[in-house]
Structure 1
Amino acid sequence: MMTTMRSTQILRSTQTPRSTQPLRRTATALLATATLATASLALAPTALATAHHTAAGAVWRGAWATSPQEPSAPLGPNWSQQGFANHTVRQTVRVSASGTRARIELSNRYGTTPLRVTGATVARTAGGGAIQAGSARTLRFDGRTSATVPVGGTLLSDGAPFQVEAFETLTVTLYLADETGPATYHQFAGATTYRAGGDHRADVSGAAFTETSASTYYLTGVEVSGGRDTFRRDGIVTFGDSITDGVGSATDADNRYPDELAERLAATGSPRAVLNHGIAGNQVVNDTTWAGEKALTRFREDVLNERGVRTVILLEGINDIGGSTVSFPAAPTPDVSVAALIKGHKTLIRQAHAKGLKVVGATLTPVKGSFYDTPANEAKRDAFNAWVRTSGAYDAVVDFDRTVADPSDPDRILPAYDSGDHLHPSDAGYRAMAAALDLDAL
């Protein structure tokens, strides 16, 4: 279902992009020469993010990622608005790249006070809030076991010797002794986060971790270096809204379409990191009060500064189309015309090409029977999808619309692929989406 639209000459920008938000990452073209005096750097809002190399010559690449969001509680209580005080937080993530060293990225992008991290570890997951005995490694920050992330900033830990295999589930433990204030988080984790009162960094058992959340907090990346894939720069970023985020898939099962894509690539003998930068409810053109800054703002931070990436898959726009017609979970957003949505996509494509990234455009999946189902919204979706298929604006196109549609009712998602709300795919639907991608075109 994916076809190559045109061959694009890859351009590399020598200019640093402007941003009013704190930069999380910088992809640099000169991989062979860039070095840093330290493997860890806390970034102020106007500072540059770290380059690929450390003083020891390590080349870092993303193995897992998520996009930070402003504290909110649109779909029920979570821990973001009150933050933490004398809490230990354990978060489990499945990585899609291997290496011999690991480091984490913490974001205080939306914090109102400096974030004090008393200590952090990485370990192999044993299930629930437990970790495998003997696997925990203390993470350091510029040689110290504690660190402070400035307001609006990002922090990378030092690299820790830690053998990581692709598709392994890791547990990152943060001890937050001081009051944090509202926490930068990611609303839909698709995985369970665990919390305990007091300092339980050293616990192997998960017995103390009696509180759970469906969101992640502060943790926005896991990176690896070393191993057989040391110099690979062929990672894929999946960028979009809830359908990229994996809403509708089973919790703790890693069945989102980006997960399934990473597994498919590995099964064909061409493993590549796949980094998920979807945010449920996100829009291309409009900011929202609960679903993150618009794609036009966050694309630079969340995609263009990601390390080790070559391709971005762009699936976003259904919330722009439907957001003006619904009042849940927040007030309707301004109406977005098809022309405005196309203009937004063209801007993202232009920015990606300037960074040397290939862009795969995706059609918007069916909405019939969902809360977005109106004749006007369907007309917009059809018009936008026609442009995606025929414009030649992308380097390649994947037709997710036709992939998951019911052949007998093409405006509706196939029942076998429907999670139940007639908008978000099920696990089977996400597998079908991953299978639709042309791996050669990637």
Structure 2
Amino acid sequence: MVVAAVMQLSLTPAAAEGPLSGWRAVWMTAMQQPNVNPNWSQEGFAAESVRQVVRLSAGGPKLRIRISNQYGERPLRLAGATVARATQGAAVEPGSVRPVLFGGVEAISVPVGSQVASDAVALPTVSGGTQVAITLYFAESTGPATFHEYGAVGASYRAAGDARADTSGAAYGEAGGSWYFLAGVDAIGVGAGSVAAFGDSTTNGFRTTPGLRYPDLLAARLAAAGRPRPVLNAGLGGGRLLNDSNCFGESGLGRFDRDVLDQPGVKTAVVLLGVNDIGYPELPPAPCLTPNPEITAEQLIDGYRALIRDAHARGVRVVGVTIPPFGGAEVHTERSERLREAVNTWIRTGGEFDATVDFATALAGPAHPTRLASQYDSGDHVHPNEAGYRAMAEAIDVTVL
């Protein structure tokens, strides 16, 4: 039976989370509304289990998961959940499956627009880079699903019935590339606070593979340098700073609190956002781009200032990142290039961010600085390839974090 009581996640300011105790976010993803692209978000789940594999950027002796019904049409009834160490595909390590409880019970109802956190779960030997499988069982129809669309995310798998205890993965006959209802994983651990990488498809890791997005590579670099700390990926493919989209989710201004400042233990935000605000007005009208007004450099700068004000009010530092070149792409015109250069000049010289990182210079071709260097171009002239994402991670002075 599904109980009506809900354990609400306490949205205390991130700065209140001490670095040596309490919960820290070690994985999260930006939630968005269901859309019409090929995925499971419109239909949702009914009498089904969905197993989702995520890579943690740090670990700890205990974990908890966070479930979101941000964009639901009805209360989300979760019949039960498990967490386990992932192996291959939908398979999990035998003996590692742990039940997940919420206020001491398996079944919960998550109100529309809400997020809940589970009780603590002890899962031994979980550290940075560990892949865990989180399985959610929905006995009743969920309706359209709050989710995170594909980019370079881990895998999700769907099975009929209650397959929470399945270790072989044989029950999971369907695979997908998005995450559903799963908003975050937190850990209790010793170490510095989390870093949130806030951005669009480039942060989300479009055109690379799971585990090789720039925030993943940055987390590995920090660990190798003896400065381990969680690095969260708050990228949202197609996202803009100033405007919402039916397909690409809320604006950066609309989701910054939820996706960065409300994440437990976040101390620093790295902001790489604006290329879609600049480039989309160069495209023909399309439903996913509506509204699509031409914007000015001043409007983008005011948007960054709003993020900085909100972050500083919560004791979070903000690192501004220059917008990489996109010459040769469909959205590149004289107008969009002028906007990019004006915004990047302000990021570099305005002095309003706590620190800056120059991805534009790190990724530019030496002979054609308005274009990605050929060794970093995935082929669409906007998104880096694996070498480009690695160059981004290496361009960050870790002391600014």
TM-score by shorter chain over 0.5: yes
The 1:324–1:108 alpha-carbon spacing in structure 2 relative to 1, beyond 3 Å, is same
2:84 is matched with which residue? 123
Look up the equivalent residue of 2:59 and give its one-letter code. Answer: S
Show the 5 A alignment for 1:61-140: 61-73=24-36, 76-140=37-101
Residues 24 and 301 of structure 1 are in contact (CA less than 8 Å); yes or no, is this contact kept in structure 2? no
Distance 2:348 2:316 in 1: 20
Residues 222 and 398 of structure 2 are in contact (CA less than 8 Å); yes or no, is this contact kept in structure 1? yes
Distance 1:237 1:264 in 2: 15
Distance apart, 1:440 and its partner CA: 1.2
1:35 is matched with which residue? none
Which segment drifts farther, 119-128 or 159-168?
Answer: 159-168
* TM-score, normalised by the number of residues in structure 2: 0.94
1:387 is matched with which residue? 346
Structure having the larger proportion of residues in helix: 2
The 1:215–1:31 alpha-carbon spacing in structure 2 relative to 1, beyond 3 Å, is closer
* TM-score, normalised by the number of residues in structure 1: 0.85
Distance 1:265 1:430 in 2: 15
Residues 24 and 302 of structure 1 are in contact (CA less than 8 Å); yes or no, is this contact kept in structure 2? no
Find the partner of 1:435 among 386, 394, 399.
Answer: 394
1:26 equivalent in alignment to 2:12: yes
2:322 is matched with which residue? 363
Show the 5 A alignment for 1:147-226: 147-163=108-124, 164-189=126-151, 190-226=153-189
Distance 2:324 2:71 in 1: 31
Show the 5 A alignment for 1:408-419: 408-419=367-378
Look up the equivalent residue of 1:137 and give its one-letter code. Answer: R
What is the SS of the residue equivalent to 1:409?
Answer: coil
Distance 1:392 1:273 in 2: 26
Residues 416 and 429 of structure 1 are in contact (CA less than 8 Å); yes or no, is this contact kept in structure 2? yes
Show the 5 A alignment for 1:322-401: 322-327=279-284, 330-331=288-289, 333-401=292-360
Distance 2:321 2:197 in 1: 11
Distance apart, 1:199 and its partner CA: 1.2
Show the 5 A alignment for 1:167-316: 167-189=129-151, 190-226=153-189, 229=190, 232-250=191-209, 253-316=210-273
Distance apart, 1:329 and its partner CA: 7.0
Residues 233 and 309 of structure 1 are in contact (CA less than 8 Å); yes or no, is this contact kept in structure 2? no
Count of matched residue positions in the alignment of Structure 1 and Structure 2: 390
Distance apart, 1:165 and its partner CA: 1.1
Residues 24 and 154 of structure 1 are in contact (CA less than 8 Å); yes or no, is this contact kept in structure 2? no
Distance 1:31 1:192 in 2: 30
Which of structure 1's runs of 4+ aligned residues deviate more than 6 A? none
Q: Deviations over 1:366-392 (max 9, x none)?
A: 111112111111111111111111111
Q: RMSD of aligned C-alpha atoms? A: 1.7
Distance apart, 1:272 and its partner CA: 0.6
Distance apart, 1:26 and its partner CA: 2.6
Which segment drifts farther, 344-353 or 331-340?
Answer: 331-340
1:3 is matched with which residue? none
Distance apart, 1:278 and its partner CA: 0.8
Residues 14 and 261 of structure 2 are in contact (CA less than 8 Å); yes or no, is this contact kept in structure 1? no
Distance apart, 1:27 and its partner CA: 2.2
Distance 2:11 2:91 in 1: 31
What is the SS of the residue equivalent to 1:435?
Answer: helix
Residues 62 and 306 of structure 1 are in contact (CA less than 8 Å); yes or no, is this contact kept in structure 2? yes
Give aligned-pair identity as a percent: 46
Distance 2:231 2:16 in 1: 22
Residues 121 and 201 of structure 1 are in contact (CA less than 8 Å); yes or no, is this contact kept in structure 2? yes
Distance apart, 1:25 and its partner CA: 3.3
1:18 is matched with which residue? none
Look up the equivalent residue of 1:321 and give its one-letter code. Answer: I
Distance 2:324 2:10 in 1: 31
Q: Which runs of 5+ in 2 are unaligned?
A: 1-7
What is the SS of the residue equivalent to 1:194?
Answer: strand
Q: Which runs of 5+ in 1 are unaligned?
A: 1-21, 33-51
Residues 23 and 301 of structure 1 are in contact (CA less than 8 Å); yes or no, is this contact kept in structure 2? no
